[in-house]
Amino acid sequence: MKNRISKLMILPLLVFTVAIASAFTTSDRKQGNAKVAMVQGWIQHAGQPCTASIQCRTEVNPFCTAPVSGVRLYAKDLTGDCPTPLYKQ
């Protein structure tokens, strides 16, 4: 009798253990994404200063583009130029 009861308890205990482990793994992954630094995206204009648009990230992903015009966005450097491409959130 005791042997049968202990066998019936193994499966629920195993399922519970897997559920807890997957919850911790998913939580770590979500927190890792939250640590990505966001930077101001700028639109390049030939011979003119860059103009601000939306927030983008520096990690490689699909290119960050302006919401209305669809123009690719860049990061502004200390000289006021916009040489570094940015990526979507």
In this predicted model, what pLDDT tens digit does every residue of 23-80 receive, in sequence order? Answer: 766 654 555 555 667 888 888 887 788 888 888 888 888 888 888 888 889 888 888 8
- Domain with 22 in it: 1-35
Residues 25 and 48 in one domain: no
Q: What pLDDT sits at residue 46?
A: 79
Q: Do both 42 and 81 map to the same domain?
A: yes
Contact 69, 85 (CB under 8 A): no
Residues 50 and 71 in one domain: yes
pLDDT of residue 49: 83
Assess whether 66 and 46 both reside in one domain: yes
Q: Structurally, how many domains does the chain consist of?
A: 2
* 64 within 8 A of 88, measured Cβ to Cβ: yes
Do 31 and 45 have their domain in common? no
Is 60 in the same domain as 24?
no
Give yes or no: residues 26 and 55 share one domain: no
